[in-house]
Amino acid sequence: MIEAAVHNDRRFFVYGRKTIEYRLLYRERRTMEIAVHPDSTVIVKAPINTTIDLIESKLRKRARWILRQLSYFRQFDPRTPVRCYVNGETHLYLGRQYRLKLAEGTEDSVKLIRGCFYITMDSTTPNSARKLLDKWYRKKAELHFSESMDRCWKKFRELDIERPDISIRRMRTRWGSLSDNGTVTLNTDLIRAPKECIDYVVTHELCHLKHPDHSPEFYKLLESVSPGWEKIKHKLELSVV
């Protein structure tokens, strides 16, 4: 069924000391729907001619649930501090810390040896080191994120959904997201987290292919394919710092 939008509006309502923004969509429908999407937007679909008073009355009744969902998304906020890319500084890879060892050389390279990143380059400047390490991280992300998708997808084969493509890019406020066309986008910086945390983010986004919102059905599916996911979520929150 294709719904035709009659009117779109960005509005706010106050709950206690919180001001919550939501997007109001009037539709040809009989009931009102309140949803919190993976990008932390609150979407309200209301029947045509529903009054704002009635809409916000229902929003206030669901406000605690909305705030819980918005709080839940904060786990995906990357918290890696600013790095200087100098000798002795530590950098994460798959949940472990490695020290930088910078050296001049004729060939640009990054090698992981005995607990250290050995970075060789023509000019041992922080900017050059950053570019080389970012390029190395990107290649490793392509490898490990693809392997993670292979592992996680096995638990979704029986569902009536298509396996999504993966996109990798650096994002400022998200570890992962699911696009409207079904592409799972993962933050390059997720390569710094342990493998089980990568699998958790991938699994989370795969669950959204079946349940776009954080409904009870979503959590039921998440628990069935990733038992104990809350502990892994907590580990992710603390790991990439």
Residues 219-236 have pLDDT tens digits of 999 999 999 888 888 788
The pLDDT value given to residue 240: 61
The larger pLDDT score, comparing residue 174 to residue 144, is at 144
Q: Write down the mean pLDDT value for the chain.
A: 87
122-171 confidence digits (pLDDT tens): 888 899 999 999 999 999 999 999 999 999 999 998 888 899 999 999 88
Compute the distance between CA of residue 229 and CA of residue 22 in angstroms, rounded to an integer: 28
**CA atoms in the 13 A half-sphere facing the CB of 12:** 6
Contact 149, 166 (CB under 8 A): yes
Compute the distance between CA of residue 219 and CA of residue 154 in angstroms, rounded to an integer: 18
The pLDDT value given to residue 149: 97
* Confidence tier at 81 by pLDDT (50, 70, 90): low
C-alpha 20, offset from chain centre? 21
What does residue 53 show for φ and ψ, rounded to 5 degrees?
Answer: -60, -45
* Confidence tier at 76 by pLDDT (50, 70, 90): low
What dihedral do alpha carbons 2, 61, 57, 69 form, nearest 10°? -50
**CA atoms in the 13 A half-sphere facing the CB of 207:** 24
Percent of the chain whose predicted confidence (pLDDT) is above 70: 91
Q: Kindly state the average pLDDT of the residues 65-86.
A: 75
H-state helical runs in 11-125: 52-61, 63-73
User: Tokens for 154?
Assistant: 């096995």
The pLDDT value given to residue 152: 96
pLDDT exceeds cutoff 80 at 108? yes
2-51 confidence digits (pLDDT tens): 233 334 567 888 888 788 889 898 888 889 999 988 667 889 999 998 99
192-220 confidence digits (pLDDT tens): 999 999 999 999 999 999 988 888 898 99
Question: Domains, the chain, ranges and CATH?
Answer: 7-76 (no CATH), 90-239 (3.30.2010.10)
Show the 3-state SS of 53-80.
HHHHHHHHHCHHHHHHHHHHHHHHCCCC
Query: With the C-alpha atoms ordered 128, 130, 131, 137, is the resulting torsion angle positive or negative?
Result: positive
